[in-house]
Chains A and B, each alone.
Chain A
Amino acid sequence: MTEPPIREAMRSAPLPDEQAAEQRAWQLVGAAFEHDVKQQRRGRRPRRMARPALIVGVLFAVGAAALTPPGEALGEWISDAVRPARAPSKPALTSLPTGGRLLVTSSQGAWVVQRDGSKRRLGRYTEAGWSPGGLFVVATRGRQLVALEPGGAVRWTLARSAPVTRPAWSPDGFRIAYLSGSSLRAVAGDGTGDAPLTGEVAPVTPAWRPGAEHVLAYVNRLGTIVVRNGDTGNRLWRARTFGSPTRLLWSPDGAYLVVVSREGVDVFDGAGAPMIDRALPAGVQTGTATINPVNGTLALVRYRPTLDRSEVVTLPLDTGGGPIRSRPRRLFAGDGRFGDLAWSPDGRWLLLAWRDANQWLFIRSARVNKVQAISNVGRQFDPGGDAAAPFPRVSGWCCAQSPDSQP
């Protein structure tokens, strides 16, 4: 075989799904281009590649507000946000405002916080997550995946050759997905049947779709959102966002997949179609996000580096299947950076971990206008520590009542 036949063979070698791939790529590239052009016509040179028309532009209209040092007050409530009862912050967590238990990870390991404020340390685990019914906790430690009871008793462990991270328990309790190195794997809830699902995934916690089937969303190394059947391995759909996804969240009914990245939030329906079409505000970064387990409302942290201010906004996602047109509602704003968010199991309270203020804020729904602040949070999960206590992570708030059928 000489060079010309090699050239011909390369040009005619079969490519799977060639035409459809071109169409998908053009949709994405064309949308990106149009968005970019629109931004330039608005007189704003894009700071970087602006995201295409799939992005929630949660407007960050932080006004000319008087700035208060982090932790000095409960923060600033702006515009249509709640006017809270300004209760002074408590120096310690003595109770949760509603039912359920918190799962927290700190430099000393994983902790379970009961409703009465009592805390039990489970052990030196770096990450942790609840089982769907709250009867168990899945945690990671180095190259180990561990399932344990909330009291700390270990039920089973699984060791892998590469570091184990980002565990996620399926809503029916029968599967746990996790990363081992950059491979995505799944194991049964009883610790059996561990198997690889795919390789080359990004360090983002995979998300199981609520429902009877074991459908799993994850992010591959190239930043593509991939949704697969976790049992058969069949790929159901895939989608791209311009940002690098950091978090995947399914709505409680499995109708929407929310993809959070630093540049914004994308929402896809269950078949992978984009549901939101808004422009991205410049100079704003997206932080963490969480979905209300009762009504599906998305709560989202946004951060404006130039002002060093953060805010929490909420956005209803329940539209009955149509496009999401509602505007985000500003709920709370404050100086510095916010950390994690967690909805209470009854969906009535939002826990905001205010990292730079070393506070937790329990925010009740807007109509009730109530906030409970807990100060000195870092030290409470690092008792006896010498240096400044690192701020703990909130890994979940679960569960008001443990269903009999779920672990």
Chain B
Amino acid sequence: MRAAQQGSAEALETLFRWHWPRAHRAAYLVVHDAVAAEDIAQEAFLAAVRALDRFDRSRPFGPWLHRIVVNRAIDFARARALRSEVEALEAVSPSASEASPGQPYSEELVAALARLSPEHRAVVVLRYLLEFTPGEIAGALDLPRGTVNSRLRRGLDTLRVALAEEQP
């Protein structure tokens, strides 16, 4: 981070390569739209570059970035949900050929996540992909801790049921 703040493009690329995959994945799992996920993650990184010289190095970069990503993803998913008329045109689902054969739950998980509301998806993604604690999720999404816990519980239950139905 220090080198990137001093103008090192190599350092910034290292930072980008390290954090992009999870940021991009988090956005995708919340919005379920490949194009939008890419845009949201890009926007978050551009915001990071914009604020680089003011960034407090005593704070971790990843959670700050992920917080931006997930909040923007929630906003996008909410707005799109209001316009179901054209949603089908924009939604991009992974094709069967893109599934990971070694991870039998992956495709089903994406489908099961899609059944949750954007707010529930965001909590689940923050907890299980980005490894936020419930307290950190509450701070990131500006929610009461109890709401986070209930959304986590409900989200997890929905996923369990959905995935159990998919098992042979």
Contacts and interface: CB of A to CB of B under 8 A. Distances in A.
Given A10-B25, A222-B36, A222-B40, A33 B9 contact: yes
Interface stretch (A23-31, A294-302, A324-332): A23-31
Interface string B66-106: 00000000001001100101110110101100111011011
Contact of B39 (A16, A198, A220): A220
Contacts of B92: 16
Interface stretch (B44-52, B55-63, B142-150): B44-52
B115 to A, nearest CB: 14
Contacts of B50: 36, 48-49
A14 interface: yes
A28 B49 CA distance: 11
Question: Interface residues of B toward A: which range?
Answer: 35 or more
Contacts of A183: 83, 85-86
B45 A25 contact: yes
Contact of A10 (B16, B86, B128): B128
Contacts, number: 171
B38 interface: yes
B110 A1 contact: no
A182 B83 CA distance: 9
Interface string A187-213: 000000000111110000000000000
Nearest to B111: A13
B109 interface: yes
Given A10-B109, A15-B34, A29-B12, A222 B39 contact: yes
Interface in A1-31: 1, 3, 5-18, 21-22, 24-26, 28-30
A198 B86 CA distance: 6
A238 interface: yes
A238 B92 CA distance: 16
A199 B86 contact: yes
B160 interface: yes
Question: Interface residues of A toward B: which range?
Answer: 35 or more
Given A25-B41, A33-B12, A196-B89, A16 B98 contact: yes
A33 B53 CA distance: 11
Contacts of A13: 25, 28-29, 94, 100, 103, 106-107, 109-110
Contacts of B4: 33
Interface string B24-36: 1100110000111
Nearest to A233: B89
Interface in A159-218: 181-183, 196-200
B13 A25 contact: no
A255 interface: no
Instruction: Classify the secondary structure of B's interface with A.
Output: helix
Contacts of A181: 83
A155 interface: no
A221 B79 contact: yes
B108 to A, nearest CB: 8
B132 to A, nearest CB: 12
A50 B90 CA distance: 30
B156 interface: yes
Given A1-B164, A199-B89, A200-B83, A12 B100 contact: yes
A6 B83 contact: no
A9 to B, nearest CB: 4
A26 B39 CA distance: 12
Contact of A32 (B35, B49, B129): B49
B38 A221 contact: no
Contacts of B9: 30, 33-34, 37
B163 interface: yes
Given A1-B159, A10-B129, A28 B89 contact: no
Contacts of A1: 105, 159-160, 163-164
A224 interface: yes
Counting chain A CB atoms within 10 Å of each CB, which of B80, B89, B124 scores highest? Answer: B89
A222 B105 contact: no
A79 interface: no
Contacts of B53: 40
Contacts of B117: none
Interface in A76-112: none
Contacts of A224: 35, 39
A268 interface: no
A12 B45 CA distance: 22
Given A25-B41, A181-B83, A183-B85, A32 B34 contact: no
A240 interface: yes
Contacts of A199: 80, 83, 85-87, 89-90
20 contacts: A6-B105, A9-B105, A13-B29, A14-B98, A15-B94, A15-B98, A16-B94, A21-B37, A25-B42, A26-B13, A28-B42, A29-B46, A30-B13, A36-B52, A40-B53, A183-B85, A183-B86, A198-B89, A222-B40, A240-B39
